């Protein structure tokens, strides 16, 4: 099936409205750029004054064309954009590009940006921009941008950057990076970022997709496009900005996009198999490694260096950053021992810098060959002090250029120094299919990201998400129109399959006797007065009540301080405490959180998020991603907790959150106590959604 953006990226004719012959003008820059890669299709320049532009006769209006152009490049300002886009549509244009920031107003006083979006939507016209740099297809020669692209060489990276400046900084600076496509969606007048991702993933020539994203205007489309890329085996590397409150505010004002919570985006990227990074350096270097088109197998990287000191630094960095380096087997070590001079130690990273004799480069070659053949090595890297202005050993340069023929595994050349003077060398190696990574930490991050992506994709087993019982959902949606206390919150959890402590509400001393006979001792008593959500902060929880005398005394104390309404529960067995939570993200819906619970949250300050609903295997992976999971598995002789039941409880909780979307604002379940024999929720705070939100749902 032809993708909607095919008309844009695969177009064979362009009409450039606003092209100019005036030196130094935007229109002249645009005309020069459009011609810069020798586009073999038809290019028509349009300028109201007519005349000649770049040796070509110019039309005065797009309507004078004798054909419908595939791409209408609108190099005109805001005052003319509405008319220009309509004229292009009337002529039958199949796509358009807009550069203007679109911050003005129409003649009627309406925002021009929204008007352009409405026009594009009504015509179902894919439009790149505004407030962007257009797009470049390096293979077809199509340059719908005002940046010339004659210096670019085709490669495997498709770069998609909301920011126009990022488009140029990443796309035009370094000859190591080779692009299949470059696109700057900007304000997404007529195509959202998910469409660019999906289109790029559909191309056999795209091997990795680098995305600089401010927000997703089509959240469900983003999910589907990332999943499509994962299924196609195309790594998608995403630098999502707006991760802090202030940054998100700036993103909204810059592009008019709603920047959803960082936790939600991180969860979505993980769920869909994308690679999340925090900087443009990590974005491009990870994409550079992924764009080899070679997928790492199980194991870790094998590194060969020409420095013992740098080897030790890399060992430290790998341990500190969690970068997987191959653990050499006895067979690999034996092979290295037999092949290396006596003074060199078989290790990973492997220092191959022996005496500078005629045999010097052959030591590196033997080390690389052995590591390349080792099954525990998933990627192969070579470091040597080779620079544009200094090659201390020609044999090492030859060896670096031959890496891609030495192994079918991903391979790369690297320098531990991030500012190495090797742009020309990097370009030369790129021609030979060998990426060049600068900076030990940058290299480690790229290796870690690619290995994690490959491992997750290889180990990914589709799992059906948990689904709540329909009758239960209907009942509790109606119940949520009334206030919810702890007892009703725990009852709701139990109804959805989350093990929860049985709770009885008492409002007098006389009711306590019935409660104790029903529940049995020992008991816990908590205040249930309205408005006291965090009971411990008010000394509103009394534990280990072993008999009626203790029960009555506790009630008298709480009644006197906080009021007569209390909850009585059986005393839970000691165990490891977790917390479950749920918030409704404006972009992606119910977002489930799991973290250490109770007082452990202060010791283990980490949490994991996932979009609801999900199955028990996903739930267990989330819990195992927490530091507190080590306690559940048992430490220092402690019996392990029931991890599987805890995971099933979290999965059931996710089904609850999904089923009650629009009817709850947030849920806090803390703690969920994981014991050797199960898991049980003993406290819950449920905040119903506002009535108007429930009516909308």
Nearest Cα to Cα of residue 211 among 278, 161, 262: 161
Which of the four pLDDT bands, split at 50, 70 and 90, describes residue 243?
Answer: low
pLDDT at residue 687 is higher than 50 = yes
pLDDT tens per residue, range 160-189: 999 999 999 999 999 999 999 999 999 999
pLDDT at 245: 56
Q: CATH number for the domain including 512?
A: 3.30.1490.20
Within a domain: residue 484? no
Q: CATH number for the domain including 633?
A: 3.30.470.20
Residues listed for the chain: 697
Q: Where are the alpha helices (DSSP H) in 41-151?
A: 78-90, 112-123
pLDDT at 337: 97
pLDDT tens per residue, range 448-482: 999 999 999 998 888 999 999 999 999 999 999 98
Q: Kindly state the tokens that stand for 7.
A: 């008309």
- Give residues with Cβ within 8 angstroms of 30, minimum separation 6: 16, 18, 19, 20, 73, 75, 146
Q: Which domain holds residue 71?
A: 1-132
Within a domain: residue 140? no
Residue 12: DSSP 8-state: S
Q: Among 437, 459, 481, where does a domain finish? A: 459
Same domain, yes or no, for 305 and 453?
yes
Same domain, yes or no, for 316 and 404?
yes
Please, is 536 exposed, middle or buried when counting C-beta atoms within 10 Å of its C-beta (0-12, 13-18, 19+)? exposed
Same domain, yes or no, for 420 and 349?
yes
pLDDT at 108: 83
CA–CA distances in Å: residue 574 to residues 192, 549, 579, 639: 51, 24, 15, 12
pLDDT at 257: 37
Same domain, yes or no, for 450 and 554?
no
Q: Comparing 328-337, 444-453, 603-612, which segment has the lowest mean pLDDT?
A: 603-612
Q: Among 540, 556, 571, where does a domain finish? A: 571
Q: Comparing 155-159, 210-214, 584-588, 632-636, which segment has the lowest mean pLDDT?
A: 632-636
pLDDT tens per residue, range 53-82: 999 999 999 999 999 999 999 999 988 999
Same domain, yes or no, for 515 and 416?
no
Same domain, yes or no, for 436 and 314?
yes
Within a domain: residue 44? yes
Within a domain: residue 436? yes
Alpha carbon of residue 185 to chain centroid: 18
pLDDT at residue 495 is higher than 80 = yes
C-alpha 96/C-alpha 191 separation (Å) is 10
Same domain, yes or no, for 46 and 95?
yes
Between strands 179-184 and 208-213, the pairing is unpaired
Within a domain: residue 222? yes
pLDDT at residue 691 is higher than 90 = no
pLDDT tens per residue, range 269-314: 999 999 999 999 999 999 999 999 999 999 999 999 999 999 999 9
Q: Contact at 8 Å (CB) between 486 and 528?
A: yes
Strand partners, 545: 523
Q: CATH number for the domain including 446?
A: 3.40.50.261
pTM score, whole prediction: 0.92
pLDDT tens per residue, range 186-205: 999 999 999 999 999 999 99
Q: Which residues of 648-669 are buried (b: 16+ CB within 10 A; e: fewer)?
A: bbbbbbbbbbbbbbbbbebbbb
Within a domain: residue 476? no
Q: Hey, how many other C-beta atoms are within 10 angstroms of the C-beta on 413?
A: 27
C-alpha 464/C-alpha 651 separation (Å) is 11
Q: Residues 553, 555, 560, CA angle at the centre, nearest 5°?
A: 100
Q: Contact at 8 Å (CB) between 655 and 640?
A: no
Within a domain: residue 495? no
Residue whose tokens read 């299924």? 231
pLDDT at 254: 37
pLDDT at residue 608 is higher than 50 = yes
Same domain, yes or no, for 316 and 430?
yes
Q: Hey, how many other C-beta atoms are within 10 angstroms of the C-beta on 327?
A: 11
pLDDT at residue 260 is higher than 90 = no
pLDDT at 250: 44
C-alpha 144/C-alpha 132 separation (Å) is 11
Q: Contact at 8 Å (CB) between 528 and 505?
A: yes
C-alpha 618/C-alpha 1 separation (Å) is 32
pLDDT at residue 258 is higher than 50 = no
CA atoms within 13 A on the CB side of 495: 20
Q: Hey, how many other C-beta atoms are within 10 angstroms of the C-beta on 295?
A: 17
Mean pLDDT of the chain: 93
Same domain, yes or no, for 522 and 582?
no
Within a domain: residue 55? yes
Q: Residues 75, 79, 81, CA angle at the centre, nearest 5°?
A: 45
Q: Kindly state the tokens that stand for 652.
A: 């059931």
CA–CA distances in Å: residue 44 to residues 19, 157, 522, 568: 9, 29, 86, 80
Same domain, yes or no, for 162 and 105?
no
C-alpha 340/C-alpha 247 separation (Å) is 52
pLDDT at 635: 80
- Give residues with Cβ within 8 angstroms of 531, minimum separation 6: none
C-alpha 316/C-alpha 273 separation (Å) is 28
Same domain, yes or no, for 305 and 452?
yes
pLDDT tens per residue, range 566-601: 999 999 999 999 999 998 998 899 999 999 998 777
Per-state percent for the chain, helix, strand, coil, to nearest 5: 40, 20, 40
pLDDT tens per residue, range 3-59: 999 999 999 999 999 999 999 999 999 999 999 999 999 999 999 999 999 999 999
Same domain, yes or no, for 163 and 263?
yes
Query: For the residues 376-381, what does the mean pLDDT come to?
Result: 98
C-alpha 353/C-alpha 233 separation (Å) is 38
Sign of CA dihedral 403, 409, 415, 419: positive
Alpha carbon of residue 71 to chain centroid: 31
Q: Among 271, 291, 311, where does a domain finish? A: 291
pLDDT tens per residue, range 523-573: 999 998 888 877 878 889 999 999 999 999 999 999 999 999 999 999 999
Q: Contact at 8 Å (CB) between 559 and 589?
A: no
Q: Kindly state the tokens that stand for 501.
A: 């402590």
The total number of structural domains that make up the chain: 5
pLDDT tens per residue, range 305-334: 999 999 999 999 999 999 999 999 999 999
Between strands 56-57 and 71-74, the pairing is unpaired
User: Residue 469 in 3-state DSSP?
Assistant: coil
- Give residues with Cβ within 8 angstroms of 635, minimum separation 6: none
């Amino acid at each position: 099936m032809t993708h909607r953006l095919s008309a844009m990226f695969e177009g064979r004719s362009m009409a450039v409205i606003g092209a100019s012959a005036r030196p130094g003008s935007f229109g002249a820059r645009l005309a020069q750029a459009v011609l810069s890669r020798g586009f073999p299709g038809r290019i028509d320049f349009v300028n109201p004054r007519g005349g000649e532009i770049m040796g070509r006769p110019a039309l005065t209006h797009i309507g004078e064309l004798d054909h419908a152009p595939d791409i209408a490049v609108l190099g005109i300002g805001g005052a003319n954009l509405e008319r220009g886009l309509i004229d292009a549509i009337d002529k039958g244009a199949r796509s358009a590009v807009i550069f203007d920031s679109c911050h003005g107003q129409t003649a009627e006083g309406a925002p021009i940006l929204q008007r352009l979006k409405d026009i594009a939507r009504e015509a179902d016209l894919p439009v790149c921009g505004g407030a962007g740099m257009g797009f470049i297809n390096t293979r077809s020669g199509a340059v719908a941008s005002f940046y010339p692209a004659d210096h670019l060489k085709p490669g495997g990276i498709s770069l998609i950057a909301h920011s126009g400046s990022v488009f140029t900084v990443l796309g035009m600076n370094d000859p190591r990076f080779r692009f299949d496509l470059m696109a700057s969606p900007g304000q997404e007048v007529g195509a959202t970022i998910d469409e660019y991702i999906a289109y790029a993933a559909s191309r056999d020539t795209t091997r990795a997709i680098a995305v600089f994203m401010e927000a997703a205007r089509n959240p469900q489309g983003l999910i589907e496009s990332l999943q499509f890329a994962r299924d196609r085996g195309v790594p998608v590397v995403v630098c999502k900005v707006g991760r802090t409150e202030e940054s998100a505010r700036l993103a909204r004002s810059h592009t008019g996009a709603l920047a959803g919570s960082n936790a939600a985006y991180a969860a979505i990227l993980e769920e869909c198999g994308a690679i999340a990074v925090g900087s443009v350096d990590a974005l491009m270097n990870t994409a550079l490694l992924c764009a080899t088109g070679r997928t790492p197998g199980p194991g870790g990287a094998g590194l060969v260096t020409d420095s013992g000191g740098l080897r030790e630094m890399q060992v430290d960095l790998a341990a500190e950053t969690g970068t997987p380096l191959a653990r050499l087997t006895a067979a690999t070590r034996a092979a290295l021992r037999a092949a290396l001079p006596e003074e060199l130690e078989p290790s990973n990273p492997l220092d191959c810098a022996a005496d500078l004799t005629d045999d010097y480069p052959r030591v590196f070659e033997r080390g690389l060959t052995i590591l390349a053949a080792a099954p525990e090595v998933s990627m192969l890297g070579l470091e040597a002090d080779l620079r544009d202005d200094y090659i201390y050993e020609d044999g090492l340069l030859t060896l670096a250029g031959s890496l891609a023929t030495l192994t079918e595994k991903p391979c790369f050349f690297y320098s531990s120094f991030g500012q190495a003077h090797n742009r020309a060398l990097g370009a030369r190696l790129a021609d030979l299919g060998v990426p060049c990574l600068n900076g030990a930490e940058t290299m480690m991050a790229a290796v870690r990201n690619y290995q994690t992506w490959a491992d997750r994709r290889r180990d990914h087993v589709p799992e059906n998400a948990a689904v709540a019982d329909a009758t239960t959902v209907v009942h509790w949606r109606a119940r949520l129109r009334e206030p919810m206390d702890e007892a009703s919150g725990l009852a709701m959890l139990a109804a959805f399959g989350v093990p929860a402590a049985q709770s009885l509400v008492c409002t007098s001393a006389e009711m306590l006797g019935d409660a104790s006979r029903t529940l049995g001792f020992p008991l816990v008593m908590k205040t249930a007065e309205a408005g006291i959500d965090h009971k411990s902060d008010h000394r509103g929880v009394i534990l280990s009540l072993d008999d009626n005398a203790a029960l009555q005394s506790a009630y008298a104390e709480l009644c006197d301080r906080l009021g007569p309404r209390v909850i009585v529960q059986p005393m839970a067995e000691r165990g490891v405490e977790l917390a479950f939570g749920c918030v409704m993200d404006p972009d992606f819906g119910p977002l489930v959180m799991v973290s250490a619970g109770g007082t452990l949250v202060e010791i283990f300050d980490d949490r994991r998020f996932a979009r609801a609903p999900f199955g028990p295997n996903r739930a267990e992976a989330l819990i195992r991603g927490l530091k507190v999971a080590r306690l559940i598995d048992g430490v220092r002789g402690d019996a392990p907790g029931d991890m599987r039941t805890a995971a099933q409880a979290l999965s059931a909780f996710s089904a609850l959150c999904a089923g009650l979307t629009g009817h709850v604002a947030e849920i806090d379940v803390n703690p969920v106590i994981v014991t050797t024999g199960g898991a049980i929720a003993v406290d819950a705070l449920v905040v119903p959604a506002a009535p108007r939100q429930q009516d909308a749902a």
